[in-house]
Chain A
Amino acid sequence: MGDYAYAAPTSLEEALSVLESQANDGQRTQILAGGTDVLVQMRSIDKEPRTLVDIKHIAETNALSIGADEIFIGAAIPSAALNENDELKGLLPGLIEAADLIGSTQIQGRATIGGNLCNSSPAGDTIPALVVVSAVCVIASPGGSREVAVGDFVTGVGENCLESNEILLGLKIPRPGNNSADAYLRFIPRTEMDIAVAGAAVALTLDEGGTCTSARVAIGAVAPTVLLVEAASAALVGTKVDDDALNAAAAACSDAASPITDKRGTVEYRTKVVGVLCKRAGGIARDRASS
């Protein structure tokens, strides 16, 4: 059994080399961003000692840029800082709402979107919100960097395609146009500090007449991984996103859901609720896109 150790590399090269050298020494490594999942799991589920590699001192993971075509959100930026950025909130209100739903004020002072994604929980709130805005993971590997769509990143419950010698640097998101907007809603029994029973994210673009020209709908906590529901998107495109269209999208979400029954909800309940959330989130996204 190895020992606990802590490393705070100040450059990407150093971080990658720490991962490499620790692995060569037979020491397990663990990337540490906000730590709100990692530290809890390290003390309860998986206590094996490891080297914690803190990525909060690396320029790339702290970068936040809002360009003409693209937005980049570094993997080490806490949700609270994102929520304080009015421009970002205006461009990606659904994603920022999803981040803002995770945990308390205290948790948001540390927790990051990148961490939420790497934790790869079926109920991770930011994952559906990232999928609908076509976010792409920017991953640093020893050989250079690679990019993976968020929808392809998570491979199972708590599993993703990040290798142990790689670092998620951040998320690249196409800048939404003026007639585009996103929204995310989840259901929990109380209004704060809980894990989604079901969640739904919708991003859509309207033309000048208010007709939907493109849409993406993703649902969470109703399958082992977040699902992009193409049938729900198809139900919205070409419509004014009226009740009929939203009902059809909701039905498509309920059809696509394959949840489990656990302490947070039954199969039947989650199946129904995820449709309702899709309908409401779709309405919010439509109103945002048209205003």
Chain B
Amino acid sequence: MSKLHVTTSVNGQPEEVLCEPHQSLLDVLRDELGLTGTKEGCSTGDCGACSVTLDGRLVCSCLVLAAEAEGKEVGTIEGVANPDGLHVLQQKFLEHAALQCGICTPGFIVAAKVLLERDPNPDETTIRYWLAGNLCRCTGYDKIIRAVQDAATELAHEA
């Protein structure tokens, strides 16, 4: 089987990888690029632990072939914090204890970040529906919703 040469950008950095045709973007991020912050939960698009952005759109990286990322911009949890420190969402997840085991946390933060970029002031229902594809077994979701709401409020003040 011949490998495919894929040129992409991950968190703003140009990347070139050789991948198998069947390999998912998730596999390549984790196994080829060493970006293990993106987690594998179900590999069927149900749990959202592998959430990344592809040209700004939220997707499950388990349901994208690495080959499909050719020429695209990929955003992962590793690109969320900035050189000055944590992103507001990351800070609020900590403050609200919106994580326990933490396996779902990168996916939630990546997903919530896309939401706040599109809708800076979402109501609770909007947040719950937007994050319905991210499963969490520990927190019961409520603290996550509060953290996202609080992050939205803080970002609005900063703006």
Contacts and interface: CB of A to CB of B under 8 A. Distances in A.
Tell me whether A and B are bound partners. yes
Interface of A: 3-6, 8, 32, 34-36, 39-40, 42-44, 49, 52, 54, 56, 78, 80, 103-107, 109-110, 191-193
Interface of B: 1-2, 4, 20-22, 24, 43-46, 48, 51, 54, 57-60, 62-65, 67-68, 70, 111, 114-115, 129-134
Contact of B43 (A5, A43, A80, A109): A43
Given A35-B64, A52-B65, A193-B132, A3 B48 contact: no
A34 to B, nearest CB: 8
B54 A109 contact: yes
Contacts of A40: 44-45, 63
B48 A104 contact: yes
A289 B100 CA distance: 49
A103 B45 CA distance: 9
A123 to B, nearest CB: 16
B46 A193 contact: yes
B21 to A, nearest CB: 4
A13 B13 CA distance: 34
A32 B63 CA distance: 11
Given A6-B22, A35-B68, A39-B24, 11 more contacts: A6-B4, A6-B21, A32-B65, A35-B63, A39-B63, A52-B65, A56-B68, A104-B45, A105-B114, A109-B57, A191-B132
Contacts of B129: 105, 191-192
Nearest to A104: B133
Contact of A192 (B60, B114, B132): B132
Nearest to A54: B68
Contacts of A6: 4, 21-22, 65, 67
A106 B51 CA distance: 7
Given A43-B43, A80-B57, A109-B54, A4 B20 contact: yes
Contacts of B54: 109
A105 B119 CA distance: 14
A233 B132 CA distance: 35
A62 to B, nearest CB: 14
Nearest to A107: B45
Given A39-B65, A43-B43, A193-B46, A5 B58 contact: no
A103 B133 CA distance: 7
10 closest A-B pairs by beta carbon, nearest first, are: A104-B133, A192-B132, A6-B21, A4-B22, A3-B1, A6-B67, A109-B57, A4-B21, A109-B59, A106-B60
Contacts of A106: 45, 48, 51, 58-60, 63, 111, 133
A61 to B, nearest CB: 14
